[in-house]
Amino acid sequence: MTTQEEQTRSGLRFPTGFTFGAATSAYQIEGAVAEDGRGTSIWDTFARTPGRILNGHNADVATDHYHRFREDVAIMADLGLTAYRFSVSWPRIQPTGSGKVNQKGLDFYKRLADELRGHGIDPWLTLYHWDLPQELEDKGGWPNRDIAYCFAEYAATVHAALKDHIHTFSTVNEPWCAAFLGYASGEHAPGRREPENAIRGAHHLNLAHGLAVQAMGARRVGGCVNLYAVSPATGSPEDLDAARRIDGLQNRFFLDALLLGRYPEDVLNDVPGEIDFIKPGDMETINAPIDVLLVNYYSRFTVSGAPGGKKSAAAAPTDAGSPWVGSEHVSFVNGGRPTTAMDWEIDEGGLVEVLTRVARDYPPVAMVVSENGAAFDDVIEDGRVHDPQRQAYVEAHLGACREAIDAGVPLEGYFAWSLMDNFEWAWGYGKRFGLVHVDFDTQERLLKDSALWYSEIIRQNRTHEPTDS
C-alpha cells in the first residue's frame, strides 16, 4: 500500500451523486482586465489606490485564467472534480453595468462552460462575486436601490445566453462581505466607511438576489451566504449579547431574509439610522423560492462584549473601521484553537453546527458547502508542495459534512476553496488558499499534496459504492 493510499483510507464515504468540486471567482483569477471589451470594476479602482492592497498588488493578470482556462479545466479533469463553481465578471458582460451587452464576454463563459462539460465537469455559475462595474458605484453603489434592478437585468442577460450551457446558477456571493467590508469597514472595494449605507446596501444586495431569481426563472437557482458558528467568550450577559449581535448581523440577517422573508427584529434594533429602505413587497421578493442554498464556511467566531479586546478578525492588513454596524464595541477573542495563515481559527465542528441549524430552523432546502478551505505558508521543496495542514483541514471539514448528512442535513456537495492560488483581495498575492500552487511570475501550475489527496477521495467515492444513508 502506498503512502498516498494510506493517507486516504479515511472512511470518507458520501451518498451516491454527492458533488466534489472546487471554486474560484472571476476577479481573483481571470486577469485580462482591459481585454475584449471588459469595463472597469470597483476592485480595479480599489487596487489602483495606494495603500489599499498589500504590497501594491493588483489583479490585472492574476492567474491569467482568461487565457489559460483550457489548461485549468484539464487540471480539474485530472483531479476528478465533478463540478466547478466560478463567477462571471459583471463588467465583462456589461461594461457600464447596464444596457449594451459585450458579446465577447458572454462568449468566453460559453467556451468555459462547454470545456467543462466536455470533461464531465458540471459548471456552477455565480453571477456576482464583488466586482461591481465602476459606473454603478459612481451612481451610488449598492446603497442605491436602482443597482438591484440593474443586477436583475444583468442576471436575465446571463441566464438567457448561458442557460443551455449551465445547470446551476447562484446570485450574490457572500452579501455580508460586499455590504459590510465594502461600505462599513472599508477593507474591501469600494472602500467606503458609511455604516448606515452598509445596512442599506445589504438590503439591496438581498433584493438583487430576489429580483435575479425572478428574472431568471431558472430550473435550478440558489443563493449564497457565508455563515459562522458564533460563541460567547463567557457566560456573562455582555458576552451573550455580543454573540447574539454578531450572529444576527452575520447569519440571521441573511438567512431570515432569504428563507423566511423577514429580518430579525433584534438586528434592526441594533443598527443605526431609519429603516426606511425596506419597501412594500421587498421581503416577498427576497424570499423567492430557491432550489439550493450555498453555504460558505471557514471558521468560528468567539466574541465578547467586554471592552479592550481585538475588534475584528481582519479581512485586510490595513488599518480599517469595524464592519459590525451597531455592534462596533464587540471584540473577537482567541478560542484556543489552531489557526490558519489568515489567523482564522480552525473548527470543523462549527460547520456541523451551521448546517444543522439551517436544516432545523428554516424551511427545507437542499444545501452545498460552496466554499471551504484554508491559507497556509506553502513552500516548494524538491518540486513538491507538502501541505499537510491544508489536507488535514479539508479532511476534517469533509468529515463534518458526513456528520451533518448523518444528522439529516440535505447536503448535496462540497466545493474546496480554492482551486488555485490567486489574488486574495486586500492581501494581494500574500495568502495562498489553492489546492494548486501558482507561480505568479511564470504562471506555472503545480498540484499540491492536498490536491492529490482530494483527488483520491473523489476517486474512492466514484469507484466504491457509497452509502446513501
Q: Which three cell numbers stand for residue 412?
A: 448535496
Amino acid code (one letter) for 16: T
- Sign of the four-CA dihedral 254, 255, 258, 262: negative
Q: Which residues pair with 437 in a beta bridge?
A: 446
Q: Could you tell me if 425 and 47 are in contact, meaning their C-beta atoms sit under 8 angstroms apart?
A: no
| Alpha carbon of residue 450 to chain centroid | 20
**CA distance linking residue 456 with residue 460, whole number of Å:** 6
Catalytic residues: 174, 371
